[in-house]
Chain A
């Protein structure tokens, strides 16, 4: 159930919203859409990929947060509110309606006692609400830029499917399907004029960010494996060997 109303400094003067990450708030997602302007923040934590919208087949950018359905391996780290979370999650439970911000009053984040206020006693947006407004500004310009970026890369045949597999100590092999990344072979053979064009548009940097972010994939896999071993330890009551 959703009940979306425009944000109003009178009506929502005392309203509090919990900005913390939690599975109970729907943050338990293994893949989250992002926009290209987030790439510099994302690449140090998450592998960035292209994937297709299940309903339209259209490409978008996203970060991988876990391996299994509903698994987000970053929830604990996200307790630190300074740790970068994709804007698409940061903005919940708010919506943008044109230049205005709206809020889903039915969302479990809303009305939480120890949450954050949206307005100061003088009716000014709090730092929290300001961060939401900035997030929407970034998202609305970012979405368009992301679409242009993807369209140009498709034209240049720079997007290719990637086959990623990870094997964990629970003996189950995870095959990551539906992920796409940069075709580096094609990239390396682009004519100089095209390389210059990509550089001028700022796309070349984004491409490099995406390639660099792939290093986060094995990090994510180790995170997952550590969790599996922790679970096993809990069950068996013995110490599991450290994982590298």
Chain B
């Protein structure tokens, strides 16, 4: 018997739950309108969402555009701001002036030429003749330095001159999505506590029983229940693969710091400053900064960590107490089992570095929406694909996050020394690092998936931002000299134009609040 998949039940209503609901419902809107498909989201009326995930990846722009929300509304209702990448301070040497950018724009002319060897060759032993790799290939580091926005008020919603993502208030983002999903996309919202999960003999989930709304039957269940992993973990017993041997950070201390004045300048990028036993994130929303210390409890005490955080914030810290959030780097061994698929924290989490959590939610939801199994018979095939891809993605994210730690030259604390211990480096990362001594990552590298979370360009920015060196034969750059020179010139010209035209980050945000962005 072929059982059609028509009813999707999402358990959990945080960022993951509502993004997944929105992405699936938008993709299957015609079927929902015809009454032949349904998306139901059930969430507890009193569970607080974790809500510290405040950094997104530029994919969020297309995700939200597809869901059909207005970007103006996002800025106004979610306290959102622009994010043009990350600045990593004191990761390499730990010195006061040690800093590099991981911007969101691809290097100039990326599809025609790999500028890495050209940068390395220029200036005899002083790559880029003193210019950082980032500045050699893209305007975005300098836009961040200048505190500029990535667009102007005349750019339409979701459009811009510089690539960008968002910083937002996760506590406001979930209700914002919920309103849109329910009012515009026909998602059914059930506020009830899940008390029991009913399985069939086959192992498939038949329904979730709720205290307030009775049983909710479904053909496919999406577990967005956060760290508790109600369905995939507790019910279906899928194991958790810990990665704390690779990524040591296991605790976060988070707080919100108001600006001294409402018109204080705002950075348009995430600032990640390395500390003795981890790193501190610092992100600007229009009304406040979100700051947190994510550290390894094996390498420092909570008291010392609180002290570090307080020192970073300075006098503004006063009587504020940071909220402690335990994290555990790792992910499920399988993500889609039977008719249940996990998305968000229920599926796994590493650490906040590089904002990989929300982007993985988007990619997973998109994959589910696009590959929505027509019936139970083909679901296992789709599940196998989903598991392959998601396992691959977690692996690459793990590698990419670890990359930030293994390239350090810091030896001042055990945390940094332990991080370069070869035993803590995943095989695949070790292999590519060996390879990249002789060739730089570009196309034709391992990172060849259609929707790679971190593309080759991201590796370039981190590698050469942290002083990694690839050997380049003198003849290697000859053939592409002309096109590289043009790309470098273009970058300089574009940088100049952008620096004159783009407004300050806060200035544009104020205008968006006042006038809004146009839809076209």
Contact = CB atoms under 8 A, between A and B. Distances in A.
Interface string B496-519: 000000000000000100111111
A160 B156 CA distance: 11
A57 B520 contact: no
Most chain A CB neighbours (cut-off 10 Å) among B153, B155, B511, B516: B153
A52 B518 CA distance: 9
Main secondary structure of the interface of B (DSSP, over half): loop
The residue among A52, A54, A57 with the most chain B CB atoms within 10 A of its own CB is A57
B154 interface: yes
Contact of B153 (A57, A154, A157, A160): A57
Given A52-B154, A178-B154, A58 B518 contact: yes
Interface residues of A, number: 15
B520 A56 contact: no
A243 to B, nearest CB: 34
B154 A154 contact: no
A163 to B, nearest CB: 13
A168 interface: no
B518 A57 contact: yes
A193 to B, nearest CB: 18
Contact of B154 (A57, A157, A159, A160): A57
A58 B520 contact: no
A180 interface: yes
Nearest to A150: B518
Contacts of A160: 520
B517 A180 contact: no
A108 interface: no
B70 to A, nearest CB: 11
Nearest to A58: B515
A58 B155 CA distance: 10
A161 B515 contact: no
B519 A57 contact: no
Contacts of A178: 154
B519 A59 contact: no
Interface of A: 52-59, 154, 157, 159-161, 178, 180
Interface of B: 152-155, 511, 514-520
17 contacts: A52-B154, A53-B154, A54-B154, A55-B511, A56-B153, A56-B511, A56-B514, A57-B153, A57-B517, A57-B518, A58-B518, A59-B518, A154-B518, A157-B519, A157-B520, A159-B520, A180-B520
